[in-house]
Amino acid sequence: MNENLFASFAAPSMMGLPIVVLIVMFPSVLFPTPSRLINNRLISIQQWLIQLTSKQMLAIHNQKGRTWALMLMSLILFIGSTNLLGLLPHSFTPTTQLSMNLGMAIPLWAGTVITGFRYKTKVSLAHFLPQGTPLPLIPMLVVIETISLLIQPMALAVRLTANITAGHLLIHLIGGATLALINISVTTAFITFIILILLTILEFAVALIQAYVFTLLVSLYLHDNT
Amino acid sequence: MASSIPVKEKKLMEVKVGELPGWILMRDFTPKGIAGAFQRGYYRYYNKYINVKEGGVAGISMVLVAYVLFNYCHSYKELTHERLHKYH
């Protein structure tokens, strides 16, 4: 069972060729480019959603921060669509791989930090010491703030990986338990099935929420630094 | 039997069964040709089901079902062990 449980998280490859590249590129097929003023229904729905999200997400940024709009919107679209596609049966979710999430988190976080240091050096350094701290506490607090800054990309990546992986694992386990319980006691199997349904609803929400949280945090780091 | 139009330019439905091997061999198998075939297929599907005035949920759900089936075929080998065993 152990081998079967974690086998779905292995990167898929066909005869040694990594088709994980194809799976990572698949969500882009579901977002066609609009070519006219008034498009078909799929594109219109996506345009409306993107407008809604971008207005809310970019409201707190100043002119400099808004140059990141494309990056943030494509980030939330990518993570959201990849997580939602991973809820289909038998599919592979790229965001369960820590390597990919680190690859997304570290460059973005580093970008915000370097932007802050480059354009507003004093203010960025001043973030290491909150206002009004008592004098004896200052050295320790600077160390703590540095550590909390350096841990931000790790936290971003591990948060996304752990949430999605844990959700998928729970669905696998509870589904397996439901199947195994059918032969033993049908009512318990039914209760477990209800739990499975609730869990699936939660996973849909988690898929979207994780995308949102990731993007929101990146934009917050950006806001601090522009 | 010679036909009036050369075999190469005919569409698949118009090729006679006897000419089929020749027709297949004459298709363009260069990377550019294969890319062109994928592009033609994509736009054929897109313009028929999605890029219409009253597209429904069928257009995109067919794509998702095809994705599920593709992943199922790919993980068939690991799944065949998982049928009704007593111990997993």
The pLDDT of B21-47, averaged and rounded, is 81
Q: Are B28 and B36 in contact (CB under 8 A)?
A: yes
Inter-chain touch A4–B82, beta carbons under 8 Å? yes
Q: Are A225 and A112 in contact (CB under 8 A)?
A: yes
- The answer to whether position A2 is within a domain reads no
Q: Residue B46 is nearest to which of A4, A8, A32, comparing CB atoms?
A: A32
The answer as to whether A34 is a domain residue is yes
Q: CB–CB of A110/A221 below 8 Å?
A: no
Q: Quick one: pLDDT at residue A45?
A: 92
Residue A17: strand, helix, or coil: strand
Could you count the other beta carbons within 10 Å of the beta carbon of residue B8?
11
Q: Which of A162, A167, A166 is nearest to A198 (CA)?
A: A167
Q: Which pLDDT tens digits describe chain A residue by residue (226 residues)?
A: 555 666 566 655 554 456 788 888 999 989 988 888 888 888 999 999 999 988 888 888 877 778 888 888 888 899 989 988 988 888 888 888 888 899 988 998 888 888 888 888 888 787 777 777 788 888 888 888 889 889 988 988 998 888 888 888 888 888 888 888 888 888 888 888 888 888 888 888 777 777 777 777 777 777 776 6
Q: Is position A90 within any domain?
A: yes
The better pLDDT of the pair B48, A221 is held by: B48
Is A141 a member of any domain? yes
Give the pLDDT confidence score for residue A16 in this predicted structure. 46
Nearest C-alpha neighbor of B71 from the set A91, A25, A97? A91
What is the predicted pLDDT for the residue at B68? 92
Three-point CA angle A88, A57, A33, nearest 5°:
55
Residues of A within 8 A of B88 (CB-CB) are 1, 4, 176
Query: What pLDDT was estimated at residue A13?
Result: 56
At A67, the amino acid letter reads T
What is the Cα–Cα distance from A13 to A10, expressed in whole angstroms?
9
In a domain, A4, yes or no: no
- State residue A52's pLDDT score: 92
Domain-embedded: residue A35: yes
* Of residues A72, A24, A82, the one with CA closest to residue A50: A72
The region that residue A15 occupies, defined by phi over 0 for left and psi between -120 and 50 for alpha, beta otherwise, is left
Summarize pLDDT for B52-86 with one digit per residue, the tens. 888 788 888 999 999 999 888 887 777 776 665 66
Q: What is the pLDDT of residue B6?
A: 64
The 10 Å Cβ neighbour count of residue B50 is: 21
Return the pLDDT at A46: 92
Q: For residue A4, what are the contacts with CB-CB under 8 A and spacing of at least 6?
A: B78, B81, B82, B88
Is residue A6 included in any domain, yes or no?
no
Looking at residue A22, its pLDDT comes to 85
Whether residue A5 lies inside any domain: the answer is no
Count of beta carbons in the 10 Å neighbourhood of residue A163: 19
Give the model's pLDDT for residue B65.
93
Mean pLDDT of B44-57: 82
Confidence category of residue B1, pLDDT binned at 50, 70, 90: very low
**ipTM for the assembly:** 0.81
**Cβ proximity of A206 and A217 under 8 Å:** no
Tokens linked to A110? 């580093």
Instruction: Give the pLDDT confidence score for residue A226 in this predicted structure.
Output: 65
Question: Residue A49's pLDDT is what?
Answer: 93
Cβ(B38)–Cβ(A62) below 8 Å = no
Find the chain B residues whose C-beta atoms sit closer than 8 A to any C-beta of A: 42, 46, 50-55, 59-60, 63-64, 67-68, 71-72, 74-75, 78, 81-82, 88
Which residues of chain A does B72 touch, with a Cβ-Cβ cutoff of 8 Å? 89-90
Q: Which domain holds residue A91?
A: 11-225
Number of domains in chain A: 1
Please state whether the predicted TM-score (pTM) of the whole model is above 0.90: no
Q: Please write the tens of the pLDDT for every residue from B6-15.
A: 656 666 666 6
Contact between residue A104 and residue A157 where contact means Cβ atoms under 8 Å apart: yes
In the prediction, which pLDDT does A15 show? 47
